[in-house]
Amino acid sequence: MIHQIGLLKESEGLRFVTLTPNGVSGLAEQFKVFVERGAGEAIGFSDEMYEAAGATVLSSQQEVILQSDFVLSFNKSIKNDYLNRRRSFIGFYNVLNNSAVIAPFTHTIADVYSLDLMPLSPGYNSYNLKWKITPLLYDAVVESSLAYFNQNESMLAKSKKALILESGHTSVDSVQKLIREGFEITVVGNSTFNQVEFEKLGIEYHKLSHLEMCEPNVLSRSNEEEHCLSEIALYLNNSAQLYDLIVSDFVLSGEKTPLLFQAATLQKLKKGALLIDLSAPTFGNCAEGSVSTADFQYFSLIEMLNQQALSASEIFSETYSRFLKQFVEDEDRAFQDLLDSIKVIEKGKVVNNTLIREVNEM
C-alpha cells in the first residue's frame, strides 16, 4: 500500500525543512510525497529539486493537507477548516509549553504526534530529534559564542566564565572546545554520568540533590521537583552575574520546561553576557519577553538551528523518514508504545494527560 505524505512550508524565520529532496527519494517505494511550493527555498532546496526526487509540488498548504495521510512540519500552524478526514500530523510542536498550537486540531478527526514528547531513552534514540540534534546545537553554541566574544572582546575579562544548566545530554566534545578557547566552565545539573565525564575534564559540577536520573539521559519528575528548581533559582540568584556565557538546556521529561530565567534573574546577568536557551523552541527556560531591551545578548534554540540549517534539515529528514517507515509497518509493539507516548490528539480528542486540563480550559 502506498501512503501519501505532505510536507508543509515552515513559518517565516525558520530556515530548515523536515524532509529534504534526498529524503523524498528514500521514501519513494512506500510513499507518494506532496510538497508545498517553496517548502525548501529558505535552505536552498528548490521546487525543481523536489520534483526531480519524485515529489509533486502543490501551490498551497491546503492542497497538500487534502492530499496527504501524513502531514509533516516542524511546528507549522494550520487552520481546521479542511481537516475533513482522518490524517496524522507529525511535528515538533512543543505542546507542553505552548498548548495553543494544538487548538486547531481539536474537534476534528485528526491525530497529532509531537516528537518533542519522545522519551530520552536508548531504545528510542534513532527517532529522537532532540537527542540527535544536540551535538549540532552545541556546535552552534561554540560558533556563536566565539563570534560574539571576538566582537565584544573589550567588554570581557581575559578569563571567560561559562555556566551550563543541563539535564543529561550536553555535548562533552563541544564543552572541550570551549575549554580550549579559554572558557572556565561550571555545570549545574543532575546527570551522574555527565558529572563523571565533566569532572575528568576538571570541570566543576554542581549536582542537584533533589532529582535523580532514572537512566542515562532521562530526567524524571519527582515529588521534590520544586526543591530542585529552587536549588537552581538560588544558584542563579547568587551566581548568575559571574558568567560571560550561560547555556540553559534544563528540561523535565514529560513536563513543561521550567522557567529558570524570570525578569528579576535576567536583570542580574553581567552586562554584555551571552545567554543561549536550548531547552525549547519557545517558552523555554528564559522569559523571552524580557530580553529585547536587556544589556546582554540572547540566542534561542531556533536561532541555533537556523545557524546549522542544512545539517539540521538532513537530521530532521533522516529521523522523520525512519519514523514514518516504522509507523506504517505497524508490527513492533515497542514502537506502538512509543507512539502512545508522543500522541497528543486522537480523532480530535486530546489524549495527553498533561494537556487535558489545559485544553479543557482553553
- Asked if residue 304 is part of any domain, the answer here is no
111 and 162 both lie in a single domain: no
Q: What is the pLDDT of residue 221?
A: 47
> Mean pLDDT over residues 66-87, rounded?
85
> Mean pLDDT over residues 164-189, rounded?
92
71 and 147 both lie in a single domain: no
Q: What is the 3-state secondary structure (H, E, C) of the chain?
A: CCEEEEECCCCCCCCCCCCCHHHHHHCCCCEEEEEECCCCHHHCCCHHHHHHCCCEEECCHHHHHHHCCEEECCCCCCCCCCCCCCCEEEECCCCCCCHHHHHHHCCCCCEEEEHHHCCCCHHHHHHCHHHHHHHHHHHHHHHHHHHHHHHCHHHCCCCEEEEEEECCCCCHHHHHHHHHCCEEEEEEECCHHHHHHHHHCCCEEEECCCCCEEECCEEECCCCHHHHHHHHHHHHHHHHHHCCEEEEECCCECCCCCCCECHHHHCCCCCCCEEEECCCCCCCCECHHHCCCCCCEEEEHHHHHHHCHHHHHHHHHHHHHHHHHHHHHCCCHHHHHHHHHHEEEECCEECCHHHHHHHHCC
> Mean pLDDT over residues 110-130, rounded?
88
Dist. CA 257–CA 250, nearest whole Å: 7
136 and 80 both lie in a single domain: no
Q: What is the pLDDT of residue 108?
A: 85
**Cβ partners under 8 Å of residue 267, min gap 6:** none
- Asked if residue 103 is part of any domain, the answer here is yes
Dist. CA 280–CA 64, nearest whole Å: 28
Q: Which of 43-47, 155-159, 244-248, 261-265 has the lowest mean pLDDT?
A: 155-159
- pTM for the predicted model, two decimal places: 0.91
pLDDT digits (tens, 9 = 90+) for 136-151: 999 999 999 999 999 9
Dist. CA 113–CA 102, nearest whole Å: 10
339 and 280 both lie in a single domain: no
Q: What is the pLDDT of residue 214?
A: 39
pLDDT digits (tens, 9 = 90+) for 179-196: 999 999 999 998 888 899
334 and 204 both lie in a single domain: no
What's the whole-number average pLDDT of the chain? 89
- Asked if residue 301 is part of any domain, the answer here is no
291 and 184 both lie in a single domain: yes
The angle formed by the CA atoms of residues 95, 351 and 93, to the nearest 5 degrees, is 20
pLDDT class of 18 with cuts at 50, 70, 90: very high
pLDDT digits (tens, 9 = 90+) for 226-264: 778 889 999 999 999 999 999 999 988 778 899 999 889
- Asked if residue 47 is part of any domain, the answer here is yes
> Mean pLDDT over residues 67-79, rounded?
92
Q: What is the pLDDT of residue 162?
A: 97
Q: What is the pLDDT of residue 359?
A: 57
Highest mean pLDDT, choosing among 126-130, 284-288, 319-323: 319-323
315 and 277 both lie in a single domain: no
* Greatest Cα-to-Cα distance within the chain, rounded to the nearest angstrom: 63
pLDDT class of 216 with cuts at 50, 70, 90: very low
- Asked if residue 262 is part of any domain, the answer here is yes
Dist. CA 146–CA 180, nearest whole Å: 11
pLDDT digits (tens, 9 = 90+) for 285-318: 998 777 766 789 999 999 999 999 999 999 999 9
144 and 118 both lie in a single domain: no
Q: What is the pLDDT of residue 106?
A: 85
110 and 136 both lie in a single domain: no
Helix axes 129-151, 172-180, angle to 10 degrees: 10
CA distances from residue 361 to 77, 96, 98 in whole angstroms, order as listed: 20, 14, 14
The CATH number of whichever domain residue 119 belongs to comes to: 3.40.50.720
Handedness of CA 75, 80, 83, 87 (dihedral sign): positive
Q: What is the pLDDT of residue 361?
A: 57
Q: Given its phi and psi angles, is residue 242 left (phi above 0), alpha (psi -120 to 50 degrees) or beta?
A: alpha
How many structural domains is the chain composed of? 2
| Residue 254 CA to its chain's centroid (Å) | 14
Domain membership of residue 165 as a residue range: 131-295
Q: Record the cell numbers describing residue 355, joined without a space.
A: 494537556
Q: What are phi and psi of 43, to 5 degrees?
A: -110, 5
118 and 221 both lie in a single domain: no
pLDDT class of 215 with cuts at 50, 70, 90: very low
pLDDT class of 83 with cuts at 50, 70, 90: low
Handedness of CA 171, 176, 182, 184 (dihedral sign): positive
More confidently predicted of 103 and 58: 58
